[in-house]
Chain A
Amino acid sequence: KNEVEQSPQNLTAQEGEFITINCSYSVGISALHWLQQHPGGGIVSLFMLSSGKKKHGRLIATINIQEKHSSLHITASHPRDSAVYICAATQETSGSRLTFGEGTQLTVNP
Chain B
Amino acid sequence: NAGVTQTPKFRILKIGQSMTLQCTQDMNHNYMYWYRQDPGMGLKLIYYSVGAGITDKGEVPNGYNVSRSTTEDFPLRLELAAPSQTSVYFCATMGQSNTGELFFGEGSRLTVL
CA distance A43 to B106 in the complex (A): 7
Chain A: CB-nearest residue to B98:
A30
Contact status B48-A90, CB under 8 Å: no
> Which of B17-25, B37-45, B70-78 lies at the interface?
B37-45
Contact status A86-B42, CB under 8 Å: yes
CA distance A88 to B31 in the complex (A): 15
- Asked if B83 CB lies within 8 Å of chain A CBs, one says no
For chain B, give the interface size range: 20 to 34
Query: Residue-by-residue, is A14-44 near B (CB-CB < 8 Å gives 1, otherwise 0)?
Result: 0000000000000000110101000001111
CA distance A31 to B45 in the complex (A): 18
Chain A: CB-nearest residue to B102:
A45
CA distance A86 to B41 in the complex (A): 11
Contact status A90-B104, CB under 8 Å: no
Give A residues with C-beta under 8 Å from B. Answer: 30-31, 33, 35, 41-45, 48, 50, 86, 88, 90, 92, 95-98, 100-103
Give B residues with C-beta under 8 Å from A. Answer: 31, 33, 41-43, 45, 48, 50, 58, 90, 92, 94, 97-107
